[in-house]
């Protein structure tokens, strides 16, 4: 970690030979039959020297209630996809969403933020956070879907797909024919094995409203909470449980919080804040088992070092896995990052089958690699890009600038709110500027190129500006990185240079 002064000195000597390479999509599935005519959707392909157009035009030849477009999964991405279908006049009577949950799509990040506020501090509840309110859009309640003529099938997950005959079967035995299928099944929370107590009463995982409701009903009775995992979920749940005045301990194997993103020095600032709020942190610890009493309720968390941390409520936040279950034999999965492999237009290797959101392994153009992103901004962006590519002549590949954020301690009466946003890639050398009072920024530089930027406690206007500045910066030509960083710092009123 360098000081701001040494940063300024070294930035001025950044090699003029550096170059910012525009990413090239590494992988593009061959879709030889994309120009064939499916039963309900006609794909027409026109070739020119520089581009290929895949245009989908709807037809109404379905025997099965005109279900031309089916989205499997009723989460974040599905909500934004539905909005895009409506914007193109292609929802009414043509679109069906099949969901495992009992609710219309909602902004999932709320579940570990406003949803977990103590009951006397105005917690968020549905219908308040249906998509697309998270991006300032319309609140799409169940009535919205009815008005738009979108068929919603709730609490009836898809169990199998027959890609050859373009049909899906749901848990209740419904058979749905589709012309084009968008898989938006997201992820499922990783669980501890049953044999080490992963299913004990009082052990919670959090992925959907039902999980959050179950957690809230337990919080009202709990005294000692142990949270396993120091990532997003762990940090957000811990911030909530101390607001409920519960004895809270976070246990994680790494040396600091949010190790996938934060530098040790940045993490230290957040750790101090958590500790000031009464959260105990146990770092570098591995879990041996979850212990229970004669009534089957969890009583504690046993560590590999032999010690046991008492708990009557345990929340596990150890990551998530792409929910590919019904599709794993039908489409190509990515063996490195998991999920359904798609190209820059979200097409899988099976004609007419697309994947978006957390479950999609897509080419990250900017960094020339295939990745999966489990963040809401990508769920929104991939949904919009996929549906536009499906319904219009749009052929340009998705060009995503990774963006993550978190907001905690935002309940009424909190002495310090936390809201950070990150853009780009956290690779290379990190430079930290600011003192967390309340702002702090971290810049990541690799081979003389700016790769990522994180800002804590920007104003809403500053945060609005950040993606634009970051995108410009990350694509900037050689030698301009220093000026770009200074420009960002000026814009967020952190420097007088």
Ligand X SMILES: Cc1cc2nc3c(=O)[nH]c(=O)nc-3n(C[C@H](O)[C@H](O)[C@H](O)COP(=O)(O)OP(=O)(O)OC[C@H]3O[C@@H](n4cnc5c(N)ncnc54)[C@H](O)[C@@H]3O)c2cc1C
Using only C-alpha atoms, the chain has a radius of gyration, in whole angstroms, of: 24
Name the minimum Å distance from CB 225 to ligand X: 16
Name the minimum Å distance from CB 191 to ligand X: 14
Which residues have C-beta within 8 Å of that of residue 301, sequence separation ≥ 6? 226, 228, 251, 287, 290, 291, 308, 309, 311, 314
Q: Are 251 and 282 in contact (CB under 8 A)?
A: yes
DSSP string of 326-354, one letter each residue: GGTTTSPBPTTT-SEE--TT-B-SSTTEE
- SS3 of 407, please? strand
Nearest CB to ligand X, comparing residues 181 and 323: 323
Name the minimum Å distance from CB 403 to ligand X: 7
Work out the widest C-alpha separation in the chain, in whole angstroms. Answer: 72
Q: Is the dihedral of CA 87, 91, 95, 101 positive or negative?
A: positive
Beta-bridge mates of residue 187: 322
**Please, what is the angle between helix 232-243 and helix 264-276, to 10°?**
20
Residue in 402, 407, 441 with CA at minimum distance from that of residue 423: 402
Nearest CB to ligand X, comparing residues 242 and 355: 355
Nearest CB to ligand X, comparing residues 43 and 419: 419
Residue 442 phi, psi (nearest 5): -125, 135
Nearest CB to ligand X, comparing residues 291 and 377: 377
Binding site for ligand X (CB under 6 A): 72-78, 98-101, 108-109, 111-112, 157-158, 184-187, 206-208, 232-233, 323, 326, 357-359, 374-377, 379, 404-406
Name the minimum Å distance from CB 236 to ligand X: 7
Name the minimum Å distance from CB 122 to ligand X: 19
Name the minimum Å distance from CB 392 to ligand X: 22
Residue 64 phi, psi (nearest 5): -100, 75
Name the minimum Å distance from CB 165 to ligand X: 18
- SS3 of 369, please? strand
Name the minimum Å distance from CB 248 to ligand X: 17
Nearest CB to ligand X, comparing residues 169 and 277: 169
Residue 169 phi, psi (nearest 5): -115, 135
Token pair recorded at residue 9: 């000195």
Nearest CB to ligand X, comparing residues 363 and 448: 363
Q: Which residue is nearest to ligand X (CB)?
A: 75
Nearest CB to ligand X, comparing residues 347 and 375: 375
Nearest CB to ligand X, comparing residues 291 and 341: 341
């Amino acid at each position: 970690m360098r000081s701001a002064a040494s940063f300024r000195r070294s930035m001025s000597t950044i090699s003029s030979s550096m170059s910012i390479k525009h990413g090239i999509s590494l992988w593009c599935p061959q879709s030889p039959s994309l120009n064939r005519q499916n039963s309900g959707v006609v794909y027409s392909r026109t070739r020119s020297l520089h581009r290929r157009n895949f245009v989908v035009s709807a037809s109404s030849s379905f025997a099965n209630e005109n279900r031309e477009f089916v989205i499997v999964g009723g989460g974040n991405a599905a909500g934004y996809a539905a909005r895009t279908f409506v914007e193109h006049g292609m929802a009414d009577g043509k679109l069906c969403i099949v969901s495992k949950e009992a609710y219309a799509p909602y902004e999932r990040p709320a579940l570990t933020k406003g949803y977990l506020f103590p009951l006397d501090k105005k917690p968020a509840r549905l219908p308040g956070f249906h998509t697309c309110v998270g991006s300032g859009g319309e609140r799409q309640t169940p009535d919205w879907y009815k008005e738009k003529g979108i068929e919603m099938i709730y609490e009836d997950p898809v169990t199998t797909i027959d890609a050859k005959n373009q049909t899906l079967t749901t848990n209740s035995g419904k058979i749905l024919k589709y012309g084009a299928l968008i898989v938006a099944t997201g992820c499922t929370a990783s669980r501890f094995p049953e044999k080490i107590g992963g299913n004990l009463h009082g052990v919670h995982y959090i992925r959907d409203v039902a999980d959050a409701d179950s957690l809230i009903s337990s919080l009202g009775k709990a005294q000692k909470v142990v949270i396993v995992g120091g990532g997003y979920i762990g940090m957000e749940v811990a911030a909530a449980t101390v607001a409920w005045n519960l004895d809270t301990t976070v246990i994680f194997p790494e040396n600091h919080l949010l190790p996938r993103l934060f530098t040790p020095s940045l993490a230290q600032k957040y750790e101090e804040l958590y500790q000031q709020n009464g959260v105990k942190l146990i770092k570098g610890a591995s879990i041996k088992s979850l212990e229970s009493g004669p009534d089957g309720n969890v009583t504690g968390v046993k560590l590999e070092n032999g010690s046991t941390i008492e708990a009557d409520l345990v929340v596990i936040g150890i990551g998530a896995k792409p929910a590919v279950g019904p599709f794993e034999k039908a489409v190509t999965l990515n063996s490195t990052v998991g999920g359904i492999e798609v190209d820059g237009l979200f097409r899988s290797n099976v004609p007419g089958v697309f994947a978006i959101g957390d479950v999609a392994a897509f080419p990250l153009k900017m960094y020339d690699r295939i990745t999966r992103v489990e963040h809401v901004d990508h769920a929104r962006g991939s949904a919009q890009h996929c549906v536009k590519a499906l319904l219009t002549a749009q052929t340009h590949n998705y060009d995503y600038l990774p963006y993550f954020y978190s907001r905690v301690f935002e309940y009424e009466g909190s002495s310090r709110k936390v809201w950070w946003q990150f853009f780009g890639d956290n690779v290379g050398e990190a430079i930290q500027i600011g003192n967390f009072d309340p702002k702090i920024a971290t810049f990541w530089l690799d081979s003389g190129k700016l790769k990522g930027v994180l800002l804590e406690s920007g104003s809403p206007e500053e945060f609005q500006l950040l993606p634009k500045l970051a995108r410009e910066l990350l694509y900037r030509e050689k030698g301009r990185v220093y000026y770009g960083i200074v420009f960002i710092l000026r814009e967020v009123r952190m420097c007088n240079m």
